[in-house]
Structure 1
Amino acid sequence: MNIANPTTAALAMALLASAPGAQAQDADFASPPARAAHSSARLLSAGAPSGGVYRLGVEIALDPRTVTYWRSPGDAGAPPVFDFSASENVAAVETLYPAPKHIVEAGMTVAGYDESLIFPLRVTPKQAGKPVVVKLALNYAACAEICLPAKARLSLALPTTGASPFAARLATAEALVPRPIGAGEAKQFVEVARAGAGAWRLRYLGPGRAADVFVEAPEPFIIDSAADGKGGFELKLGEGKQDGAIDARATIRTESGGLELPLTLE
């Protein structure tokens, strides 16, 4: 009996995956990639709807040493803009954001991503059982040696049956989205103390170790955050003049996943 060696078996599997039939199946669950500056983008589907809601994702594949941005980049950068208004039989689209990281770029610290990523989507149709076509006009920035605007026009007719080859990847991306924590539970996870004019110290109390903290505040405020080297984080008012409490939102990236919670800066 002849037994194929692992290298031969792996090659056979790769050829099978790249065969026309496999590519045709993938095309049922993904839009064609749209190439842009230092990057490309496409829509991915997890397959049939669950509870009347479709699970999708916007994949942005970045070239090496390229950065794109979170919804609140900070002092520089441009957040992605998702426009689904041209979609067919779509009542609502919820866009979810994986927890970002702080990245030093041209002497400034921004909040974003320096690896390829997926923004998970939740798509609710207007009429259940009717065909759904998601059409996305996406604007984002891709920054390598220079920063360039990137655009993608994507369209995907959502499948109602069949197993998606992207389901596992979308589940992994969804696990990177911070878990929302309500105001009533927030004090179980963070402790904030005043540390001077326009400055605070945040201490994480939840499970695992906090790797990074991001604070979003209403205009005109910008809150800068950085690890203090003592297990906590320094928060500083970067823009705006404080006159009373600032109601903000904190995103905390931890070893065991991310958290998102309301934060009041007295």
Structure 2
Amino acid sequence: MRSLKILLLGAAIGSASVLPAAAASSAWYNSEGGKVRLVTSGKPDEAGRIQGVLDIALKPGWKTYWRDPGDAGVPPQLDVSPSTNIADATLSFPAPQRHDDGYGKWAGYNHPVSLPVMFKLSAAKDPAVIEADVFLGICETICIPVQTRLTVDPGSDPDNADDAALVKASFAALPAPARSDFGINVLPGDHETLVVEASFPGDPNAADFFVAGERDYMFGAPSRSEKDGKLIFTVPILDRPSATPTDGGLHYTLTSSAGAVEGLLPFP
């Protein structure tokens, strides 16, 4: 369980404000298992959006989490409410890997990872300063929460080529939108299971399905089976809201030896 896995030490959390670097990025914040910073592309587009990444440089043997870490940890979180002229920020996630550390099965990354962020300006033509409160778990045999504030002035060095290249590569590495030949089809389940049929290129043994427990849903690790030549994932629903939401859906990622896709599936 999460409460058994996470080491809550005030000294390890290291809440602090980090001054901006001489670029359209923050300084690195160092923790025991790695370091983290916020990088932006500098210039907003015509719609008043600035692309960026939450850049997580893990030390060897350390791991961090996907948008849904299962019952083993905490997902990366970004709060930009202290910012100036930033209305919202949306984190995106590259395809995760499944891990089993003896405490439970969870989804995340065992290598350095850059999580794309889309910042939305309140007023498209006005300057902005990003004050982002970051919270994430970095784990070895135990999990250490990392909590800090990262500060970025996107206009301080808007033509920084290294920052722009990192941001561009991180967005390009995101899973593609699901399609008919690479995606999932939801099959009839019951109140306690989500069942999907997967279509994908490549080796079936390399395929995996990840669904994010959001809106008070919680899911267990999927089991695999085959039906009529199709790979079936059956996912235990460990918890659910008292009333099924009627808007939106649940984020999922389907991985294969040929890449990864993502999409939304209806609330079960």
Per-residue CA distance 1:123-168 (angstroms, 9 max, x = gap): 1222233221111111111111221111222101012742431222
Letter in 2 for 1:202: V
CA drift of 1:34 comes to 0.5
Match of 2:219 among 218, 222, 225: 222
Aligned to 1:204: 198
Distance 1:145 1:197, change over 3 A: same
CA drift of 1:177 comes to 2.6
For the pair 1:171 / 2:165, whether they are aligned, the reply is no
Aligned to 2:41: 46
Higher relative contact order (CA 8 A, sep 6+): 2
* TM-score normalized with structure 2 length: 0.74
Q: State how 1:1-266 maps to structure 2 within 5 Å.
A: 27-51=22-46, 52-159=48-155, 161-180=158-177, 189-193=183-187, 198-199=192-193, 202-207=196-201, 211-217=207-213, 218-228=215-225, 232-240=231-239, 248-254=250-256, 255-263=258-266, 265=268
Distance 1:192 1:126, change over 3 A: closer
Cα distance in structure 2, aligned partners of 1:232 and 1:219: 27
Greater mean deviation of Cα atoms: 126-135 or 161-170: 161-170
Per-residue CA distance 1:191-226 (angstroms, 9 max, x = gap): 344589945653322455673211235535424214
Per-residue CA distance 1:229-260 (angstroms, 9 max, x = gap): 88724323252489999975432124233222
Percent identity of paired positions between Structure 1 and Structure 2: 24
CA drift of 1:121 comes to 1.1
SS in 2 for 1:76: coil
Letter in 1 for 2:37: R
Cα distance in structure 2, aligned partners of 1:155 and 1:48: 16
Cα distance in structure 2, aligned partners of 1:196 and 1:161: 52
Would you tell me which structure has more helix in proportion to its own residues?
A: 1
Conserved in 1, the CA contact under 8 Å of 2:137 and 2:144? Answer: yes
Cα distance in structure 1, aligned partners of 2:63 and 2:163: 24
Distance 1:142 1:168, change over 3 A: same
Aligned length: 237
* TM-score normalized with structure 1 length: 0.75
Cα distance in structure 2, aligned partners of 1:58 and 1:244: 34
Conserved in 2, the CA contact under 8 Å of 1:138 and 1:153? Answer: yes
Query: Could you list the runs of 5+ residues in structure 1 that have no partner in the other structure?
Result: 1-25
RMSD (CA atoms): 3.2
Cα distance in structure 2, aligned partners of 1:241 and 1:47: 40
